[in-house]
C-alpha cells in the first residue's frame, strides 16, 4: 500500500510539472522542427538530408514524451459520462487492427454484455491503446492480443491480454512508475498514463503475468456515484 501511495504521489508531481512546462517546451521545439523541414528542402543542405531527418525524428520522440507527460497532468479536463464501453472499443478497433496487421500480430475482441460505465471516452481510448501497444511490443511475430469486457463478481472488467514474454516478478511492483522501462527506446510513460487514467476513474488496474503472457485488468467501480 505504501508503494501504491508513493506511486500516486510521484504521479501527481509529474503531472504538475508536465502541466506547467509542457507547453512552453513544445513551442520552441515546433519552431526548430519547422526550420529543419525547411532545410531539408534546400539544395545547399542536400548532403545533410538524412541527418536532418534524424533530427526531426528525435524531436518527434521528445514530443511524444511531452504528450505522455501532459496526459499525466492533474488538472486536465476530464468528464465521467455513462458510456457504452463496447462501443468505445469498437471505435478504436480498426486502428488497432491496422497496427496488428502492420506488426504481424493478431487481435481478438470478446465483448460480453456489461452495463454502462462512467468514463471519459478519450482517456479510456488512450488507456486501451497504451496497453495494446505494450502487448504488441512484448510479442514475437504472430502473437495474439485479446481485448475483453465481462462481469466478474458484480464488477465490470476490461481486460487486455497478450501471448508475449510476460513480466518478470521482480519488476511487477515497478509498473506504473513514471520512466520505468525495460526497452531501449521506451519512455516508461505508457503505463504511468494508464495507472493515472484508472485512478481518475476510481478503477483498479492490475497485471497478471506468467510465461504464457500478460493480462492487464481494469475493474470499474459499479457504484455510479464518483467524486474526483
Map residues 116-145 to x or -, x wherever contact with ligand ADP holds by CB under 6 A.
------------------xx--x-------
Residue in 143, 164, 176, 190 binding Mg ion, rule: CB under 5 A: 190
Residue range at the interface with Mg ion (CB under 5 A); choices 62-70, 73-81, 187-195, 210-218: 187-195
Please report where in the chains the cell 519552431 appears, as a residue: 31
Give backbone dihedrals phi and psi of 118, rounded to 5 degrees, phi first: -75, 110
Interacting partner of 187 out of ligand ADP, Mg ion, none (Cβ under 5 to 8 A depending on kind):
ligand ADP
**How many residues of this chain interact with Mg ion, rule: CB under 5 A?**
2
CB 175 within 8 A of CB 165: no
| Residue 180 lies near ligand ADP (rule: CB under 6 A) | yes
| Residue 191 lies near ligand ADP (rule: CB under 6 A) | yes
3-state secondary structure of 53: helix
| Residue 164 lies near ligand ADP (rule: CB under 6 A) | yes
User: What does the CA dihedral 185, 98, 178, 200 come to, rounded to 10 degrees?
Assistant: 170
**Is the four-CA dihedral 190, 196, 163, 166 of positive or negative sign?**
positive
Q: What's the Cα-to-Cα distance from 1 to each of 6, 8, 30, 66, 213, rounded to whole Å?
A: 9, 11, 41, 29, 26
Interacting partner of 96 out of ligand ADP, Mg ion, none (Cβ under 5 to 8 A depending on kind):
none
Residue range at the interface with Mg ion (CB under 5 A); choices 36-44, 72-80, 106-114, 133-141: 133-141
| Residue 188 lies near ligand ADP (rule: CB under 6 A) | yes
The Cβ-side half-sphere exposure at 145, using a 13 Å CA radius, reads 28
Q: Interface residues with ligand ADP (CB under 6 A)?
A: 134-135, 138, 162, 164-165, 167, 175, 180-183, 186-192, 214
Amino acid at each position: 500500500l505504501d508503494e501504491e501511495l508513493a506511486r500516486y504521489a510521484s504521479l501527481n508531481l509529474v503531472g504538475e510539472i508536465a502541466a506547467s512546462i509542457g507547453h512552453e517546451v513544445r513551442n520552441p521545439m515546433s519552431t526548430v522542427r519547422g526550420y529543419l523541414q525547411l532545410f531539408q528542402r534546400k539544395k545547399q543542405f542536400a548532403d545533410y538530408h538524412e541527418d536532418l531527418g534524424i533530427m526531426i525524428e528525435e524531436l518527434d520522440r521528445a514530443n511524444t514524451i511531452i504528450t505522455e507527460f501532459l496526459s499525466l497532468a492533474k488538472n486536465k479536463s476530464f468528464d465521467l459520462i455513462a458510456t457504452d464501453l463496447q462501443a468505445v472499443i469498437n471505435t478504436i478497433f480498426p486502428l488497432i487492427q491496422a497496427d496488428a496487421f502492420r506488426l504481424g500480430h493478431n487481435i481478438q475482441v470478446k465483448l460480453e454484455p456489461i452495463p454502462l460505465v462512467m468514463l471519459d471516452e478519450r482517456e479510456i481510448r488512450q488507456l486501451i491503446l497504451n496497453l495494446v501497444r505494450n502487448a504488441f511490443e512484448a510479442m514475437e511475430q504472430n502473437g495474439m492480443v485479446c481485448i475483453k469486457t465481462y462481469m466478474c463478481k458484480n464488477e465490470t472488467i476490461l481486460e487486455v491480454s497478450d501471448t508475449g514474454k510476460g513480466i518478470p516478478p521482480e519488476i511487477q511492483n515497478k509498473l506504473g512508475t513514471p520512466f520505468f522501462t525495460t526497452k531501449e527506446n521506451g519512455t516508461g510513460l505508457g503505463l504511468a498514463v494508464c495507472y493515472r487514467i484508472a485512478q481518475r476513474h476510481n478503477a483498479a488496474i492490475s497485471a497478471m503475468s506468467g510465461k504464457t503472457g500478460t493480462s492487464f485488468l481494469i475493474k470499474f467501480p459499479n457504484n455510479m456515484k464518483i467524486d474526483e
